[in-house]
Amino acid sequence: MSHKSGFVALIGRPNVGKSTLMNHVVGKKVAIMSDKPQTTRNRIRGIFTDERGQIVFLDTPGIHKPKSKLGEHLVQTARATLEEVDLILLLVDAEEGMGPGDRFIIEHLKQVETPVFLVVNKIDRVHPDALLPLIDSYRRLYSFKEVVPISALQGNNTGTLVDLIFRELPEGPAYYPADQVTDSPEHFIIGELIREKVLFLTREEIPHSVAVIVEEMVPREDGETVYIRATIYAERPSQKGILIGKRGAMLKEVGRLAREEIERLLGNKVFLDLWVKVKKDWRNEEAYLRRFGYGEVD
């Protein structure tokens, strides 16, 4: 039996379920999930391996019209990814239907030669009769190699999607060990888990002006506990106040939820030491974008 391997880009408007799909297929949370757009700020490699071969997923930031230097970096990252992979999955939202953002992305897809699957996500939220007209509207704009309706959240039809991906990939070696599910550093994943909890708890009060840096991560002398010090950066003093909360209640809850997931990730007890700082308009400062990991596309 031949061994297939290759790189697959997940692309689409913000909040269509790219991270949810990758996490489901890989079987472990390697990308944060949120109901807010632009959750994913870096290319995160999720790795799926079985007897057929290895699929390396690149979860790109959602392509959108940028309004800041950070936004420009996110779109540049997504576009660059399209040129480097063996296959592109364009995820669209069955519930929302086609929007200007989808047309914007499809125009970019016409400029690359990589094969593209249309993956219609969130089919559990629409009547089956609505799917065919929606799929036809996308087919009129682009000649997709395959069209696969799925529910990433419930796992519906994701097995079929993986089968079709393997059918498309070339023969090749495994790029990573069979038990590895991501190549993102632990520091990065931990920072993302903390940022996910901030987005979840603050809802509309804190937009995407938050970044998290893991400053220190060291094992304690007892051998069972890992000390992690992380800083949450906001753009305005009012946001800092919201993040800390009355008598520190919000920051404590962010820490509690994040610590639970980090402990599952590391398999150790965790002492999570969170701080909040303000850096005005950091999303438009190159030096801070690089420090926060959003520098030049690699």
Separation of alpha carbons 204 and 142, rounded Å: 35
Please tell me whether 155 is known to bind a ligand: no
* CA neighbor of 63 nearest in space, from 84, 52, 79, 47: 79
Q: Which of 247, 250, 217, 213 is nearest to 230 (CA)?
A: 213
On whether 210 is known to bind a ligand per the annotation, the reply is no
**Dist CA 97 CA 145 (whole Å):** 20
Q: Which helix (H) or strand (E) holds 174?
A: none
Task: Tell me: is residue 30 an annotated ligand-binding position.
Answer: no
240 is in an annotated binding site: no
Q: Does 63 carry a binding-site annotation?
A: yes
Cα separation, 239 vs 292, in Å, equals 18
Residue 61 counted as an annotated binding residue: yes
Q: What 3-state DSSP class applies to 90?
A: strand
Is 93 annotated as a binding-site member? no
Strands across the sheet containing 87-93? 44-50, 53-59, 4-12, 87-93, 116-121, 146-149
Is 237 a known ligand-binding residue? no
DSSP 209: -
d(C-alpha 129, C-alpha 234), whole Å: 45
123 annotated to bind ligand: yes
Q: Is 16 flagged in the annotation as binding?
A: yes
- Do the annotations mark residue 59 as ligand-binding? yes
Residue 6 in marked binding region: no
Would you say 116 is a known binding-site residue? no
121 annotated among ligand-binding-site residues: yes
Residue 13 annotated as part of some ligand binding site: yes
| Binding-site sequence positions | 12-19, 59-63, 121-124
| Binding-site sequence positions for GTP | 12-19, 59-63, 121-124
